[in-house]
Chain A
Amino acid sequence: MATLEELNAAHVEADHSLRRRDFINIAAVSFAGVGAVAVAIPLVKQMSPPADVLALASTEVDISKIAPGQAIKTSWRKQPVFVRNLTAPEIAAAKAVPLSELRDPQTLDERTKPGKENWLITLGVCTHLGCVPLGTGEGENRGDYGGYFCPCHGSHYDTAARIRKGPAPLNLHVPDYAFTSDTVVTIG
């Protein structure tokens, strides 16, 4: 029958050797932990847009039929896009506005392509809460500034689709686009 001292000594001895030998346990658990994180990555990544959605990220629009003063509504990445052919008075009105008056200061030049300043291509999504503003169709309310008007909460956009009155914080977004020819625009 071992004495109490011997048992205690054995325990302490066991404790020390446990700490030394803990290393392999820590290594195994850490490695498994790395594995768990590695498994989580594809689970999170799979929620990203799949290849076919990414492929539709580019749309071509034929602008040959849009006369000055007219606008069309089209779709890009499942969102509405306004393509407007500005008239000369509309261009002048846009250029006449001092930047200090604008909530989101931008010139018409910044929002159009050089040499094509009559073509105003913006998303048709109000920057307040996402409604589709009026103004593209014949006879639609174009708001107090002659551009677009959002009926949901009363945001008014001017001829360069910049926010002038109402709750929207920013101008209608101008997506990346390029003229692949005089009559075709590729958006995205």
Chain B
Amino acid sequence: MIRWIARVVGAAFVLAVLWAFGTTLATNLQSPPAPTAEHEFHRHPKEVAFASDGPFGKFDKQQVQRGFQVYKEVCSGCHSLTRVSFRDLHQLGYEEAEVKAIANQWQVEVPSVNPETGEPATRKAVPSDYFPSPYANETAARAANNNALPPDLSLMAKARHDGPAYIYSILTGYQNQPAELLKKFPAAKTPPSLHYNPYFANLNIAMPPPLTSEGQVTYAPGNPKPTVDQMAKDVAAFLMWTAEPNLQGRHKTGFAVLAFLIVATILAYLSYQNIWAEAKRKVAPVGPLDPVNKAKRTRASKKAGIDE
């Protein structure tokens, strides 16, 4: 009975899906999906290496400090970093006094309440505060940016595939819309309020190119020259740190744990071999369960006159 029901149910689903398959085939052969500008002109992130890449990845503190400087002087006007606290900067090598100064001098103040009147007010940041957002809320952010919302950057390196490389590619990827694109997809001309950037998902990004000239940020002596390329790399490295501050510690603990587990596995395996040596567990050389071999063995035994 079950099998009859099974056959009917099976037939129903198989037929329904094959019908759908036929329809898919027909529609796509008759009117194949039109190519889109995104499909043809979108580019994957550029190949670029970061100190944080790979299992041995770590943070180049000096680079991340430069990246912080770029964030501070270029990006923080529009982009918040609300999940990072000023005290986290200790990790980058800043001393307590420096962190206090950075917090105190941060151009955006922290929302607070006037202790005498109870009116909303602002106060200077202290190290235990998180980086305050440049805008009070989303509406304010959009109003100031032509209805675009500059996203918070704390997790950007993990919120995009290939994060740091993506960030670097966006920052260095601004270009004029290629003539080829305009010819093939005249409707996809970049609107005047947006900017063409093939590394962005739909090719037109609301953010105007933030890094435009060498020396936009002045690096302290002993650092590489602040070219657009260098600044982009540095801020991408900084954003990898904001997204995953524990990366270095994670790798360190990882090696210790792996070493322990590998030794544990070896010891456990030797113990297993030791225990099983007593039990008869050797099996025939080629496929113990292979009945062909079993048949061979039976024939061979018979030939040698051994009783089964």
Contact = CB atoms under 8 A, between A and B. Distances in A.
The reply to whether A and B meet directly (CB within 8 Å) is yes
Interface of A: 14, 18, 21, 24-25, 27-29, 31-32, 35, 38, 51-52, 55-56, 58
B127 A24 contact: no
Contacts of B87: 51, 55
Given A55-B127, A55-B128, A28 B270 contact: yes
A55 B268 CA distance: 44
Interface in B213-270: 260-261, 263-264, 267-268, 270
Contacts of A28: 264, 267-268, 270-271
Given A35-B260, A55-B87, A24 B278 contact: no
Contacts of A31: 263-264, 267-268
B200 to A, nearest CB: 34
The 10 closest A-B pairs by CB, nearest first: A28-B271, A55-B128, A28-B267, A25-B271, A28-B268, A24-B271, A24-B274, A24-B270, A55-B87, A31-B267
B264 A32 contact: yes
Contacts of A55: 85, 87, 127-128
A28 B270 CA distance: 8
Nearest to B115: A62
Given A25-B274, A52-B128, A56-B128, A32 B85 contact: no
Interface of B: 85, 87, 127-128, 260-261, 263-264, 267-268, 270-271, 274-275, 278
Which has the most chain B C-beta neighbours within 10 Å: A28, A35, A58?
Answer: A28
A59 to B, nearest CB: 10
A24 B260 contact: no
Nearest to A51: B87
Q: Majority SS of interface residues in chain A?
A: helix
B268 A32 contact: yes
Contacts of B275: 25
Given A51-B87, A55-B85, A58-B128, 17 more contacts: A14-B278, A21-B274, A24-B271, A25-B274, A25-B275, A28-B264, A28-B270, A28-B271, A31-B264, A31-B267, A31-B268, A32-B268, A35-B264, A52-B85, A55-B127, A55-B128, A56-B128
9 contacts: A24-B267, A24-B271, A24-B274, A25-B274, A28-B267, A28-B270, A32-B264, A35-B264, A38-B260
A159 B101 CA distance: 40
A27 B267 contact: yes
B289 to A, nearest CB: 29
Nearest to B275: A25
